[in-house]
Structure 1
Amino acid sequence: MFEKAILGMAFLRIFSGSLEILVALIILKLNNVEKALVVNSSLALIGPLILITTTSIGLIGMADKISFTKIIWVFIGIAFILYGVKSG
């Protein structure tokens, strides 16, 4: 049997991947660069949310095995990743 944290993380990644495929199909159907760019930009909001949520679920699943300080360091790392990607 799988741990609940593993199932939650896997479900979120399956959802995220399915959403990516759905958006790709919508972009093909639109066949318009301007509209496709708007649809694609919506994924820029969803990606970081999936990353933060998946990481949070994993950390909650490990809460008894990892110190609070290390959890804070992980979230600081995520914040740096998001800042680096968004500040281009």
Structure 2
Amino acid sequence: MFEKAIMGMALLRILSGSIEIFVAILILRINDIEKALFVNSSLALVGPIILMITTTIGLVGLSEKVSFIKLIWIFGGVACILYGVKSN
């Protein structure tokens, strides 16, 4: 049996991948570069949201095993990743 945190993280990644595949098919069906670019740009919101939620689930699962200071460093690292990929 899997831990609840592992199941939650895996299900979110499956959902994220399914959304990516759906958007790829949608782009092919749209067959218009402007609309396809808009749909693709909208997809850019999904990745960071899934990253944050999945990381949070993992950290909650680790909270008993990891010190508070290390949790702060992990959240800081995730914040740096999100800041680095943020478009201006």
Q: TM-score, normalised by structure 1?
A: 0.96
Q: Report deviation, 1:51.
A: 0.2
Q: Match of 2:41, as an amino acid?
A: S
Identical amino acids, percent of aligned pairs = 67
List structure 1 segments (4+ residues) > 4 angstroms apart after TM superposition: none
Q: Which runs of 5+ in 1 are unaligned?
A: none
2:51 corresponds in structure 1 to: 51
Bigger mean CA offset, 71-80 vs 13-22: 71-80
RMSD: 1.0
Give the SS at the match of 2:77. helix
Give the SS at the match of 2:65. coil
1:35 corresponds in structure 2 to: 35
Q: Which runs of 5+ in 2 are unaligned?
A: none
Aligned residues: 88
For residues 84 and 35 of structure 2, the distance between their equivalents in structure 1, rounded to whole angstroms, comes to 26
2:83 corresponds in structure 1 to: 83
Give the SS at the match of 1:27. helix
1:19 corresponds in structure 2 to: 19
Q: Report deviation, 1:14.
A: 0.1
